[in-house]
Amino acid sequence: MAPTTTPTVTSPPTTTAPPPTLSTKPGTGWDDAWRRCLAAAPEAFQDDRVRNLWAGRWHADGRPRPSVSPVDGSAIAGPPLLDGATAAHAVHAALDRHRTWRDTPLPERKARVRATCDALAEHRELLALLLVWEIGKPWRLAQADVDRAIDGVRWYEAEIDRMLAARTPLPGPVSNIASWNYPMSVLVHAMLVQALAGNAVIAKTPTDGGVACLTLACALAEREGLPVTLVSGSGRELSAALVASPEIGCVSFVGGRDTGAGIATAVADLGKRHVLEQEGLNTWGIWNFSDWPSLAAVIPKLFDYGKQRCTAYPRFVVQRSLFADFLDAYLPAVRSVRVGHPLAVQHPSDPLPDLDFGPLINAAKAGELRDQVAEAVDRGAVPLHEGALPDAAFPSGVSRDAYLAPVTLLNPPPSSPLHHAEPFGPVDTIVLVDTEAELLAAMNASNGALVATLSTDDPATYARLAPQVRAFKVGHGRPRSRGDRDELFGGFGHAWRGAFVGGDLLVRAVTDGPRGERAPGNFPDYHLMP
């Protein structure tokens, strides 16, 4: 009998499909956006640079600062930096325009602001595309930033008559110095409401990004006759003009505590009207809590724009006995966060990717956070999650230097900036506590914040603990935001100096009322809640 043999079965070699080839969606490149700017506002854009706007005219002055896009490291237009003397001339010219504008009848002011909103809406997609290239916002969030500005100003235009009852414009223009992260929904929105209230407005372009978007928005406003000044320059060079000039009626600042502290000292010494929104470590507390599906659903949303916003939640303070349950909800949620190139598609007809965030504002910021994370781990922090940038979300060969995937650390050491300061990037930290006193101490680590949230099953526990959290807004199991329209906004401690804003308070902050009126806000000699 012949011996039997077992046939050899050879499996086909395992192959991994290469990632799809991506490229920038046709029509969305920086060159495309720039050509559209030149066509839309040739008075404000010149060849490869933007102009400054003062005395009602566009000026090709200042020294253009080289800039690159965080999206791919390519060159884009930078701010034309003025010197202090030219900025002083611009402020003086703004006062001349203010004296005329403050006497302009309210119906005419409303009509001009309404026409500006119509023009912004007409150029909505171009403004959003500029936000993508200049500050790295994903397309969905960039459009939302433009829409919030337009819709918010339209609400004020409809409500302004009652808000201005028995009130008058300030004696001088409002000077706006704002961070780069919300050029439209914070800065342009504030400028148009200030003008609606009867003030000329001055704005300094953020040096880190947003100059082309702001230039286009201001060109549209200037065409409708609004008294707008837009200048670029370093804060140190322009501070004397934009903060300390006697012509300035109010200083409105949005930014970090270091810069804000210097401005706060200056305006306090001068007795000048001011609104200074500064950063704070916004925290989310977990205490006697069990609704983990609701928490898991909100975690990815907290990473919108890479947590580069003043109302981001980078710190979780968790009851130690709930830590295992917290991780079961948190880790799968954070792993679902979508990060990538905001304009990359596989086919020209594909929609732009729906991302939670793209790059950080620049490569330097991404590098700084990487270093802070590494240093915190070296000093004892426990890395719970370290994400990776997916190759499939980027065109081949494109720089990723400004990108950082989500990172989560347990118990950052007190020596680390991640322990006590807002990272302004996709880095979460978790602190474990055993008592309510520890919970409150950890939630109040930065001596004041803008928002906070406490997740607890017991309404009575929330009602007892929430007033002890030093944040202007405290949510019960849900995130709080800056808000729109009639929602008030402010901060506690070092997170805010000067008048609170939002709703009627925004108009009240930039107008004069009855003699002896005390505005709600944080001031050197008093704190008054609305």
Handedness of CA 477, 482, 484, 488 (dihedral sign): positive
DSSP letter assigned to residue 405: -
**What tokens appear for 128 in the block?**
């959003």
Query: String of b and e for 76-109 (b: at least 16 CB within 10 Å)?
Result: bbbbbbbebebbbebbebbbebbeebbeeeeeeb
Cα separation, 198 vs 171, in Å, equals 10
Radius of gyration of the chain (CA): 25
pLDDT at 116 exceeding the cut of 80: yes
Q: Which amino acid belongs to residue 328?
A: D
In which residue are the tokens 């028995």 written?
Answer: 166
In which residue are the tokens 């000077």 written?
Answer: 175
Is 191 in a helix, a strand, or coil? helix
The answer to which of 11-15, 139-143, 522-526 has the lowest mean pLDDT is 11-15
pLDDT (average), residues 65-75: 97
Q: How confident is the model at residue 70 (pLDDT cuts 50, 70, 90)?
A: very high
| Residue 295 backbone phi and psi in degrees, to 5 | -70, -45
Q: How confident is the model at residue 265 (pLDDT cuts 50, 70, 90)?
A: confident
pLDDT at 506 exceeding the cut of 70: yes
Q: How confident is the model at residue 259 (pLDDT cuts 50, 70, 90)?
A: confident
Q: What is the pLDDT of residue 266?
A: 84
Whether 355 and 394 have beta carbons less than 8 Å apart is answered as no
Angle value at C-alpha 370, between 366 and 372, nearest 5 degrees: 115
| Residue 70 backbone phi and psi in degrees, to 5 | -70, -20
Whether 70 and 136 have beta carbons less than 8 Å apart is answered as yes
pLDDT at 4 exceeding the cut of 50: no
Whether 40 and 69 have beta carbons less than 8 Å apart is answered as no
pLDDT (average), residues 230-240: 93
Task: Measure CA of the first residue to CA of the last residue in the chain; give whole Å.
Answer: 101
Q: What is the pLDDT of residue 13?
A: 54
pLDDT at 17 exceeding the cut of 80: no
Strand partners, 388: none
pLDDT at 9 exceeding the cut of 50: no
Angle between helix 30-40 and helix 124-135 axes, rounded to 10 deg:
130
Q: How confident is the model at residue 18 (pLDDT cuts 50, 70, 90)?
A: low
How is 413-445 classified by DSSP, letter by letter?
-TTSHHHHS---SSEEEEEEESSHHHHHHHHTT
Cα separation, 120 vs 456, in Å, equals 43
pLDDT at 124 exceeding the cut of 90: yes
pLDDT (average), residues 301-307: 97
**What tokens appear for 118 in the block?**
């119509």
Is 489 in a helix, a strand, or coil? strand
Select from 236, 263, 246 the least CA-distant residue to 94: 246
pLDDT at 2 exceeding the cut of 60: no
Whether 427 and 314 have beta carbons less than 8 Å apart is answered as yes
Q: Calculate the average pLDDT of the chain.
A: 94
Q: What is the pLDDT of residue 524?
A: 84
Handedness of CA 437, 438, 440, 445 (dihedral sign): positive
pLDDT at 12 exceeding the cut of 70: no
**What tokens appear for 51 in the block?**
């102009």
The answer to which of 183-187, 239-243, 259-263, 500-504 has the lowest mean pLDDT is 259-263
Q: How confident is the model at residue 198 (pLDDT cuts 50, 70, 90)?
A: very high
Is 345 in a helix, a strand, or coil? strand
Q: What is the pLDDT of residue 10?
A: 46
Instruction: Please give the sequence-ordered ranges of beta strands (E in DSSP) within 87-236, or none if there are none.
Output: 168-169, 174-178, 201-204, 228-231
pLDDT at 59 exceeding the cut of 70: yes
The tens digit of pLDDT for each residue in 367-396 reads 999 999 999 999 999 999 999 999 999 999
Report the predicted TM-score, pTM, of the whole model to 2 decimal places: 0.94
Higher pLDDT, 74 or 420: 74
Cα separation, 242 vs 309, in Å, equals 24
Whether 307 and 361 have beta carbons less than 8 Å apart is answered as no
pLDDT at 76 exceeding the cut of 80: yes
Q: Which amino acid belongs to residue 414?
A: P
Q: What is the pLDDT of residue 71?
A: 98
Q: What is the pLDDT of residue 7?
A: 46
pLDDT (average), residues 125-151: 98
- The percentage of the chain sitting over the pLDDT mark of 90, rounded to a whole number, equals 89
Cβ atoms within 10 Å, residue 163: 18
Cα separation, 152 vs 480, in Å, equals 18
